[in-house]
Amino acid sequence: MHRNLKYSDVDLIPNYSELYSRADADTSVEFLGTKFMLPVTPANMKSVIDMDLANKLSEDGYFYVMHRFGNSLRDVVTQMNEENWSLISVSMGVKMNDKKDIVALSKYKQRIDYITIDIAHGHCSRMKTAIECIKKYMPSTKIIAGNVCTGTAVRDLYEWGADAVKVGIGQGSPCTTKYKTGFTMPMFSCVKLCSNLQGGCWEDESHGPIPIIADGGVKHNGDIAKALVAGATMVMAGGMFASCSDSPAACSTIGNVTHKAYFGSASAENKYHHHNIEGKLINVPCNNMTVGQKLLEITEDLQSSISYAGGKNLEAFKDNNVTYDRN
């Protein structure tokens, strides 16, 4: 039987490099028509990102997705427009209130550059109607839809109108979906399957590659390179940003060590009740970095990864340029 692979199951094999210095490697990525500093973004979770951090990332040229918990979509987008944010990237669900907010924001001509329809099981009929609502009322907005973990789901979301698809179910460290429901797929195999849509998902090869956001399972900076080798365009990480000193996660001291409270979107801590829970709170040790310092560290490590891959930019990870071993 074929074994599905986590990032930790994979070792990348180095190639010959002509880079004079690793610092010369270009880590920028074009995502849905806009160039960003890194193919990495903090997870759209309440303990990972808030409005202050989102605005800072926007100003510094990084992609972000603001979470959908707390204030309404209408209030968040209105504030971003009033403050003239350079990039407006938000999340929504699939409930009637979310769709009403889209209609209202369209009526008052509010700008949304990117919107992520963010639900636990994204391959469903309510996702289709949510995409159709955005396409009707805000046709210039780029739509990211998820989460899913099969090629068939990626195909359907794309055909329904999504511009990019967020993949990963049950692989984030505060997520308990795989234990509570039995459903999941290890991330390296998930990304590889979802980014390679030939072999039954399309009847022909006329479709270009669909941008994939790999969401979950990133424990080390090197996992970012592995996700890119598997076919991701963008990588979403939670714990490594929640553990930063200036993240919105609450601080506590455990055994004289500062920890940050990192919790899943389907946790009781986020929902404020105990029904349909598929997440938990994890106290992660503070990494003593700011988010900006962590992004710099990721940049430098990714530059090294590009060098080991034998390239000059992120193209080094594409088209089977990098081989890997299963350990």
Which amino acids are annotated catalytic? 175
Q: Percent helix, strand, coil in the chain (nearest 5)? A: 35, 20, 45
Distance CA 136, CA 106 (A): 10
Q: Are strands 324-326 and 10-12 parallel, antiparallel or unpaired?
A: antiparallel
Task: Give the separation between CA 285 and CA 78, rounded to whole angstroms.
Answer: 35
Residue type, position 155, single letter: R
Distance from the first to the final alpha carbon of the chain? 16
For residue 221, say if its preceding peptide bond is cis, omega within 30 degrees of 0: no
Q: How far is CA 60 from the centre of its chain?
A: 18
Neighbours of 2 (CB within 10 A): 5
Answer whether 31's CB lies under 8 Å from 37's CB: no
Assigned token pair, 81: 């427009």
Torsion 133-138-140-145 (CA) sign: negative
Question: Cα(226)–Cα(183) distance, rounded to whole angstroms?
Answer: 23
Burial 77-87, CB ≥16 within 10 A → b, else e = bbebbeeebeb
The answer to whether 46 and 71 are in contact (CB under 8 A) is no
Distance in angstroms (rounded) separating the CA atoms of residues 213 and 222: 16
115 contacts 136 by C-beta, under 8 angstroms = no
φ and ψ at 226, to 5 degrees?
A: -65, -40
